[in-house]
Amino acid sequence: MEAVTGEAGRTVDAGRPFPPGRYPVVVVGSGAGGLQVSYSLGRLGIEHALITVDDAPGGMFRRFPVFERLITWTKPHAPFERGTREYEWYDWNSLLGEDPMHRAVVPGLMDGTSYFPSRAEMERGLGAFVERTGLRIRYGCRWEATRHEDDGFVLTTSDGEYRSSHVVFSVGMTEAWTPSIPGIEHVPHYVDMKPPQAFEGKRVFVVGKRNSGFEVADGLLPWARQVILASPRPVRLSILVHSTAAARARYLQPYEDHVLGGGTFVLDASIERIHRTADGFRVEARGTTRPGDLVFDVDEVVSATGFKTPLGDLSDLGVATFYQGGRLPAQTPYWESPSVPGIFFAGSVTQGSIGLKKYGIPSNSAAVHGFRYNARVLAEHVARTRFGVERDRPMLESSRVVDHLLAESTTAPELWNQQSYLARVVEFRTDRGIVDAGIQPLAHFVDASEPDAVALAVETDGDGDIHPAVYVRRAGRVAEHLLAGDPLHDFRGSDQRAQLAGAIGDLLE
Amino acid sequence: MTTDQETADTLAGFSVFSDLSAPQLEEAAHTLEEEWFAEGQRVLRQSFTGGGLYFIVDGEATIEIDGEERARLGRGEYFGEVSVLLGEPPVADVVATRALRCLVLAEPDVEPFLLAHPSVMYRMLQAQARRLRSANLWRR
């Protein structure tokens, strides 16, 4: 592409935005996370460059899920009208917009055969969001290396150098991750597996019993002669552990088949070794919950062992990582690297900012319905703390605070999609009065020392009860108050009113 | 940074897991979730529900009650067991004094894990007995 010299000495490619140069913020990645950050930064007036190696928007949804159907719902018909804020709880796949035309894009593109969009529908939805919002993206720009200089970071790309003090990496978590099992190098990973027709009449061994493992097994049931799933830990089911990170209900047909003795096996075993044989593979395993040696002669093996983040050279820059050899970057509650300030993360990578994780229930940050809110909160945080741009925060009458918070606990999509993770915050400021301080990470709120404030989250406990949780900060100390649940999840009743008023009454006086 | 096999090897070196077989260690390595905390970050919070049982893999943490340091814990030690066993919120904060990496068993998973691995439960009982003995000696 022809290059010319533009303003401020930047090199401009005809027709491509964001040529190499210095920007207040650089965002890397054009998946759902990168698009949401860019949109939200733009609405706050923060100049930034959005670059991506891809040639179209969509990120992981341009390739995955392999079996072409998402596990995140979008309900075309819901208790709230499309395009309202409340409807977002029922539409887990659209990005967040401030104008009506920017909202609830995905349901309008679905064909009605399922309330789980197809991969293609999701990809089209993200493309339509870009088109309707006018987001500008520099495609075909590969991030290759990173270094730290006195005035910030320098990103070497295939198009040249980008300089900024604030870089947001939204690079997904779709790189194959495989455990250290001898012989697994001969086995295709989920990301590289053949189409289901290639498994017709075959005996297939799937390593892994999380969602990708069950997705593979479910997709192969009509084709394979037999499917065997195995991993060391017993299956965790979303309906029992109250988490979308566990095996989702819609993939459980192989598990029912196993329970009924239908020929599919779901086993707890550590995989010791995988051998190539003349006819396929031999898998040697050892039972964990039921001890004993197991040997399987199979035609095919698929490794559904999870994914990692393509962090490039960020570890060399000092970015701390964790989780099975560094699959995720460590992050603060505002998704910043604690070891390299100025490096931020968006998209599914934000699951590395763990939050309170009460009762072991993780956030939904691994999926669009969780991380789209993280991205918006991140944009507001960067705008406020780095550029002095503050979103308007309305004042509240003291008589309205209880009703306001209980209404939020009943219908706020941020609180329902990111339980125990994002909270609605009301501050009691000595200089201004009572201020609606918006949505904040709960982990930040409970560890911050001022001002006096209340944070309200929606939480699920170990027994599965869903209820509002209130965190009250007075003079630097935070106390937790759990409010009553409700069988229909309407928390605006007299019990909750009395409990909340009791918890914060002194602050309202 | 560790891989899953290294996590299993790490657990094998901790006294409470020392009686588990290799497959059981691998199961445990897949059951306990890894979490990372920055220096100064609170891991457990006094009076907050929904905690867990934490095993320190790297780093150091302090146990604090109302801001006063009561104990310091390092690699191989664990915390959170009293509150999860009693089903009550922690009576202390636990704060990372430097970068801290833990393996965590969430509160709902503790009872089934211990019942499925009685040798771990027995080793934890021994540790509690030693702590009780030390406390009794200290009071004499």
Q: What is the pLDDT of residue B140?
A: 66
Mind listing the pLDDT tens digit for each residue in A144-172?
999 999 889 999 999 999 999 999 999 99
Residue A134: which pLDDT band, with cuts at 50, 70 and 90?
very high
pLDDT(A250) > 50: yes
Residue A92 · residue A141 · CB < 8 Å:
no
ipTM for the whole complex: 0.93
Q: How large a percentage of chain A has pLDDT more than 90?
A: 93
User: Scanning every residue of chain B, which has its alpha carbon at the shortest distance from the alpha carbon of A360?
Assistant: B106
Range A363-386 average pLDDT: 98
pLDDT(B139) > 90: no
Q: Which residues of A touch B119 (CB under 8 A)?
A: none
Q: Which residues of A touch B36 (CB under 8 A)?
A: 320, 322-323, 330, 352, 354
User: Scanning every residue of chain B, which has its alpha carbon at the shortest distance from the alpha carbon of A444?
Assistant: B41
* Chain A closest-CA separation from residue B129 CA (Å): 27
User: Scanning every residue of chain A, which has its alpha carbon at the shortest distance from the alpha carbon of B21?
Assistant: A288
Q: How many CB pairs under 8 A join A and B?
A: 103
pLDDT(A418) > 50: yes
Q: What is the pLDDT of residue B50?
A: 95
Interface check for A366 against chain B (CB to CB < 8 A): the answer is no
Instruction: Name which of B7, B109, B104 is nearest B53 in CA terms.
Output: B104
Interface check for A178 against chain B (CB to CB < 8 A): the answer is no
Q: What is the pLDDT of residue A9?
A: 42
Q: What CA–CA distance (Å, rounded) separates B116 from A356?
A: 27
Range A82-106 average pLDDT: 97
Residue from A242, A308, A322 to probe the interface with B (highest B Cβ count within 10 Å): A322
Closest CB from B21, B22, B38 relative to A330: B38
Mind listing the pLDDT tens digit for each residue in B104-120?
999 999 999 999 999 99
pLDDT(A117) > 50: yes
User: What is the residue-averaged pLDDT of chain A?
Assistant: 95
Q: What is the pLDDT of residue A4?
A: 37
Q: Do A288 and B1 touch (CB under 8 A)?
A: no
Q: Do B109 and A461 touch (CB under 8 A)?
A: no
User: Scanning every residue of chain A, which has its alpha carbon at the shortest distance from the alpha carbon of B33?
Assistant: A323
For tokens 């979303």, the residue is: A238
Q: What is the pLDDT of residue A55?
A: 96
Between the CA of residue A130 and those of A60, A83, A85, A101, B110, what are the distances in Å? Answer: 16, 17, 20, 12, 46
Range A420-424 average pLDDT: 98
Q: What is the pLDDT of residue A325?
A: 82
Q: Do A180 and B4 touch (CB under 8 A)?
A: yes
pLDDT(A225) > 70: yes
- Residues 6 or more apart from A32 whose CB is under 8 A from it? A59, A61, A95, A126, A347, A368, A371, A372
Instruction: Name which of A171, A133, A106 is nearest A42 in CA terms.
Output: A133
Range B91-99 average pLDDT: 96
Q: Do A357 and B106 touch (CB under 8 A)?
A: yes
Closest CB from B2, B30, B35 relative to A233: B30
Q: What is the pLDDT of residue A70?
A: 95
Mind listing the pLDDT tens digit for each residue in A431-466?
989 999 999 999 999 999 999 999 999 999 999 999
Number of other residues whose CB lies within 10 A of the CB of residue A139: 15
User: Scanning every residue of chain A, which has its alpha carbon at the shortest distance from the alpha carbon of B117?
Assistant: A289
pLDDT(B7) > 90: no
Residue A233: which pLDDT band, with cuts at 50, 70 and 90?
very high
Q: What CA–CA distance (Å, rounded) separates A37 from A51?
A: 12
φ, ψ (nearest 5 deg) of residue A26 = -120, 130
Q: Do A360 and B36 touch (CB under 8 A)?
A: no
Q: What is the pLDDT of residue A226?
A: 98
Q: Say what the pTM is.
A: 0.95
pLDDT(A12) > 80: no
Q: What is the pLDDT of residue A13?
A: 67
Mind listing the pLDDT tens digit for each residue in A314-333?
999 999 999 888 899 999 99
Q: What CA–CA distance (Å, rounded) separates B51 from B83?
A: 8
Between residues B66 and A504, the one the model is more confident about: A504
If DSSP states are collapsed to H, E and C, what string results for A76-133? CCCCCCCCCCHHHHHECCCCCCCCHHHCCCHHHHCCCCCCCCEHHHHHHHHHHHHHHH
Q: Do B31 and A480 touch (CB under 8 A)?
A: no
- Number of separate helices (H) and strands (E) present in chain A: 11, 25
Interface check for A388 against chain B (CB to CB < 8 A): the answer is no
pLDDT(A39) > 90: yes
pLDDT(A3) > 80: no
Residue ranges with strand state E in A304-381: 307-308, 321-322, 328-329, 343-345
Mind listing the pLDDT tens digit for each residue in A287-323?
999 999 999 999 999 999 999 999 999 999 999 999 8
Least confident of A264-268, A350-354, B85-89, B133-137: B133-137
User: Scanning every residue of chain A, which has its alpha carbon at the shortest distance from the alpha carbon of B8?
Assistant: A324
* Chain A closest-CA separation from residue B88 CA (Å): 12
Q: Do B89 and A338 touch (CB under 8 A)?
A: no
pLDDT(A473) > 60: yes
Closest CB from A270, A325, A420 relative to B26: A270
A21-34: b (≥16 Cβ within 10 Å) or e: bbbbbbbbbbbbbb
